Amino acid sequence: MKKIDLKQELRHLYRPTAREVVRVDVPALRFLMIDGAGDPNTSPAYARAVEALFSVSYTAKFKVKKARGIDYAVMPLEGLWWSDDMSAFLTNDRAQWQWTMMILQPDFVAAQTIADAIEEVRRKKANPAVDTLRLETFTEGPCAQTLHVGPFDQEGPTIQRVHAFIAARSALAGRHHEIYLSDIRRAHPSRWKTIIRQPMQRD
């Protein structure tokens, strides 16, 4: 059985330090994605979206393991966040937030395998979010990122550090990006690890 650890292979993207902000160049990567809006803490649509992403990702993983003898870890949940009125983030008006939640899919997992996994989950689970999943290649290019350790509602200073890093070199571009490395159902909020990533304009 061949085992693959994508977080190790892409450690410059998925294992940053909290000690500093660094620039990374993010290549084209394939993600299983789903769009939505509203408060992630209270929105049923958000909960259904996350469930659909993980259900299909794990189903695809087991299909590849059975058919090809390749075992790999499902990658962490990621989120792109924005609002038509960006002040909604300053005022914490989460009802106005928009999001794309996503999970990276390895290149060796065929698109047909993902399609078959979606169909299998659709048959087994009564989750309408499954019907709005899509597989898409996403390229961010140059970004600044660092690791935030602690609750989500204390990310402000970390985000400011990232923005200051970019302002000294370039300008912000694209959507605020978070990568959730911790299982928040088990870890104490003080130990939650979240990658804060922000695209920046090219030199």
Q: pLDDT at position 83, please? A: 85
- Of 103, 120, 138, which marks where a domain is finished? 138
Do 35 and 126 share a domain, yes or no?
Answer: yes
pLDDT tens digits, one per residue of 5-14: 999 999 999 9
Q: pLDDT at position 99, please? A: 96
Do 133 and 178 share a domain, yes or no?
Answer: no
Mean pLDDT of 151-163: 91
CATH number of the domain bearing residue 172: 3.20.80.10
Q: Cα–Cα distances in Å, from 159 out to 45, 144, 195?
A: 26, 10, 10
Q: pLDDT at position 131, please? A: 96
Provide the whole-model pTM: 0.94
Q: Which domain holds residue 20?
A: 1-27+140-203
Mean pLDDT of 158-183: 93
- Of 138, 163, 192, which marks where a domain is finished? 138
- Of 120, 138, 156, which marks where a domain is finished? 138
Q: pLDDT at position 89, please? A: 62
Mean pLDDT of 163-172: 94
Q: pLDDT at position 86, please? A: 60
- Which residues partner with 3 through β-bridges? 71
pLDDT tens digits, one per residue of 47-91: 999 999 999 999 999 999 999 999 999 999 999 999 887 666 656
Neighbours of 20 (CB within 10 A): 10
Report the SS3 class of residue 84.
coil
Do 4 and 39 share a domain, yes or no?
Answer: no
Do 131 and 147 share a domain, yes or no?
Answer: no
Do 53 and 107 share a domain, yes or no?
Answer: yes
Tell me which residue has tokens 């977080």. 7
Q: Cα–Cα distances in Å, from 114 out to 40, 53, 68, 119, 129?
A: 25, 11, 15, 9, 15
Q: pLDDT at position 203, please? A: 75
